[in-house]
Structure formats: structure tokens, C-alpha cells
Amino acid sequence: MRTLPVVIAALAAGTFVHAATPDDATIAALVEKETPRVVTWRRDFHQHPELSNREVRTSGIVARHLRSLGLEVETGIAKTGVVAVLEGGRPGPTIALRADMDALPVVEQTNVPFRSTVTATYRGETVGVMHACGHDAHTAILMGVAEILSGMRAELPGRVVFLFQPAEEGAPEGEEGGASLMLKEGVFRKHEPEAVFGLHVHSLLPTGLIGYRAGAFMAGSDSFRLTVTGRQTHGARPWMGVDPVVVSAQIVSALQTVVSRQIDLTENPAIVSVAVIRGGVRHNILPDSVEMLGTIRTFSDAQRSDVLARVERTASRIAEASGASASFELFGMPNPVTYNDPDLTGRALPTLERVVGAGHLVPLTRQTPSEDFSFFAREVPSLFFIVGVAPPGAKPEDIAENHSPRFYVDEDALPVGVRALTQLSVDYLTGKMR
């Protein structure tokens, strides 16, 4: 077996021939060699973000790269998705690896030289666009993994299906998208993976750590719209109408008691958040109606049904008490709970620990953000894990949460993600995880 210095020298010369089963040192060297390209891709995607179902430039770059590796590539999957298949040199199982490509309607406030200045239209408004959730990193990481695994395909048994997914953040209203649409179009029926792996970069953890949880990991989510209808009148004579603004304020406050006073939080956490309130156009006119948009997060089907019923009942009865009315509706595609197969998770932990080292693999509590990776996880055994991207030693007040305009990815975390997905693939396909 070649020593690591010899491996690196051979890589530089472009003459390296893999051992029958690529070992950890070989994979580490390949990741080190690939990291500069991954960083370059990530910075390019970050500077040119695209909203959900609009990832035309991003998917074009991804498809060209995968074709250059000699992979079988399909484009236009779930509108802008890309799927590629690597055929190993020997018979074996099929696995899938997933990365999401879309950005968010956020005006970037970081000072990186590749910061986004892109604008687009979202819900009829001109908005800034930013990779405020790290999907640029996910896409670049999986492109690097595809390159590394392609270089050792002759020694690998089985097949790897690369899923570059659009619209993880949710398709625009009136459109379908994301993982659910990829499945609806038959991506799993065609390729039949027996396991799926995915990751998410997060400022929850510092660079160098990987977080995981078996079972229910990330919350299911629903998007809701509450419309409070009153009766318009002059702001100086509110008694002549029904003020939907005051009613809406009462509803927003009361909805917080659904979680704090009506749900058994020792069993499962839950979240009800109102994020948008729209009503009125002039300072002295009380409007006819107010629209509120929000999100609900739950961890079981029974809890979801209960919370939805309580939200609707609370809103309608408060409105009725004031002479107004409230309509409640869900919109968009709800995400199920992201569930990590306990057996697959347990078998993968030794692999992940070899990637980050003892003491750097962190068990996590249930996480209230949601992920539409959950649709894949409902179909086959899956593992979704967190790669820390907070700069080590940074003060907590200086670390921005995902979806923040100040969200920052420490690029030293990129090779951690590349090596984790590469090592999981090799270990699974070669039987080390069985």
C-alpha cells in the first residue's frame, strides 16, 4: 500500500492508480486535492444565487461538470434539477447522494469579496437574493464528491446516484418543486437506491464537528395564511367599522399560547410563528382585511393535526368575538419530519468518526428547522447530518444563524463535507457499513 506522501505525489503527477478498496489516507488525499475547486465553485454559486425553481445557471454548471466526468446525466428534473449516475466497476448496491441548489430572498450583509448583489422578483416584489442557508456549499461539495468517486469507479461496486435538487426552500406559489416533485417524476422508481445520504452546513456547530441524531431529527413544517376580514372605515371613527389590525394583533399574541399552554412540550417541541403581516395602505384608513403568513413546526402526525386545529380555532373565535372573521389555509408543500433510519445511522457513525476524529461527532437534540430531504427519507433508509461551519473560537454573538443576511460559511468546513459523503459512499458500497 502506498504511503500518503506517495499518494499525494502521484495525484500531482496525474498517474495515481487506486488500490482495490480505497483507504482513508487515499480518500483524505483526494479530498485535499479537490478542495480548491470546491471552494471556487462555492464562491461562484454564492456570487450568483438563484431562487427556487429558477436555478438555471447553477444547474447548467453542475450538468457540465458531471458530463465532463463521463457520467450519465439527466437535466430538467423537477424543473431545474440534475441527476447523474456513476456506474461502478463491479456489481453492488445503489445509493443516492443529495445536494440542494436554491437560494433565499435575502439581502446579503456580509463583507466577503464574492458577496451577492443579485436581485430577483419574489411574491411580486423586487428582493435581494443570497445563499443564506449554505446550499451553495452543498452543491459544490457534491460536485467534488462526484469527481472523487468517478476517479475510483473501476474499484467501486454498485452505483451512485447524484441528486442535485432545486427548490428545497419551497417552490413559488402555484408551482410544484423540490424533492417531492423529483419523486413524483420517478427518480427513485428509475434508479432504486437502497440508501440516501445528505448533509446540511450549519452555524449551530463550529467547523470540524459533525452533528447527527437517529430517528426524528428535523421538524415537519406547514406554511399557513390567516386572513382577517373586518369592515373598512376612517381611522378617526373606528367604531363605524371593524378593525382587522387590532384583531390580528390579538390573534398573533394568542397563537403563542397554543405552544406555551396547550401542547405537551415534554413529549415533542412545536413552533407557531407569524412572519408576515400585511394590511392597509394609508395611515388614517382602517382596512377591510389583514393577511398573515406563518409557519408551524411539529414532530408527529398527531401533533400536527392537533396544532393546526388549535391555530384555526383560536384565530376564528377571536375574530368572531370582535365582529370580524378569520380564514385559515395552508399553502405550499408541507415537509414531513426528517427521519434518520436508526440502523443506518448506527452503522454510519464509525465512518463519520473516522472523518472528523474522536470527540468531534456530536449527538444533537431534535431540530425545529425543516428539510424536504424528508421526502427522500420516507422512501428508503436515509441519513441526514449537520456539518459545522461556524469559525472556531468565534463569539456566539458574532455567529449568524442560517437564513440570516450575515450567514457565513467557514470554508475550512467544505473538505469535511466532501470527505464525509465520499467516505460514507465508499464504506457503504464496499460493505464496511454492513
| pLDDT higher than threshold 70 for residue 67 | yes
pLDDT at 21: 72
pTM of the predicted model as reported, rounded to 2 decimal places: 0.90
pLDDT interval class at 20 (50, 70, 90): low
pLDDT at 11: 44
| pLDDT higher than threshold 50 for residue 10 | no
* Residues 148-160 pLDDT 10s: 999 999 999 999 9
* Residues 211-263 pLDDT 10s: 999 999 999 999 999 999 999 999 999 999 999 999 999 999 999 999 999 99
pLDDT interval class at 193 (50, 70, 90): very high
| pLDDT higher than threshold 90 for residue 3 | no
| pLDDT higher than threshold 60 for residue 18 | no
- Is 4-217+337-429 CATH 3.40.630.10? yes
Mean pLDDT of 389-412: 96
* Residues 417-428 pLDDT 10s: 999 999 999 999
pLDDT at 434: 77
Percentage of the chain with pLDDT > 90? 93
pLDDT at 14: 40
| pLDDT higher than threshold 70 for residue 321 | yes
pLDDT interval class at 4 (50, 70, 90): very low
* Residues 156-188 pLDDT 10s: 999 999 999 999 999 998 999 999 999 999 999
Mean pLDDT of 12-22: 49
CATH fold label, 220-335: Alpha-Beta Plaits (3.30.70)
CATH 3.40.630.10 residue window(s) in the chain: 4-217+337-429
What's the 3-state SS for the chain?
Answer: CCCHHHHHHHHHHCCCCCCCCCCHHHHHHHHHHHHHHHHHHHHHHHHCCCCCCCCHHHHHHHHHHHHHCCCEEEEEECCCEEEEEEECCEEEEEEEEEEECCCECCCCCCCCCCCCCCEEEECCEEEECECCCCHHHHHHHHHHHHHHHHHCHHHCEEEEEEEEECCCCCCCCCCCCHHHHHHHCCHHHHHCCCEEEEEEEEEEEECCCEEECCEEEECEEEEEEEEEECECEECCCHHHCECHHHHHHHHHHHHHHHHHHHCCCCCCCCEEEEEEEECCCCCCEECCEEEEEEEEEECCHHHHHHHHHHHHHHHHHHHHHCCCEEEEEEEEEEECCEEECHHHHHHHHHHHHHHHCCCCEEECCCECCCCCHHHHHHHCCEEEEEEEEECCCCCHHHCCCCCCCCCCCCHHHHHHHHHHHHHHHHHHHCCCCC
pLDDT at 141: 99
* Residues 275-320 pLDDT 10s: 999 999 999 999 999 999 999 999 999 999 999 999 999 999 999 9
pLDDT at 300: 94
CATH 3.30.70.360 residue window(s) in the chain: 220-335
Mean model confidence pLDDT for the chain: 94
Mean pLDDT of 393-411: 96
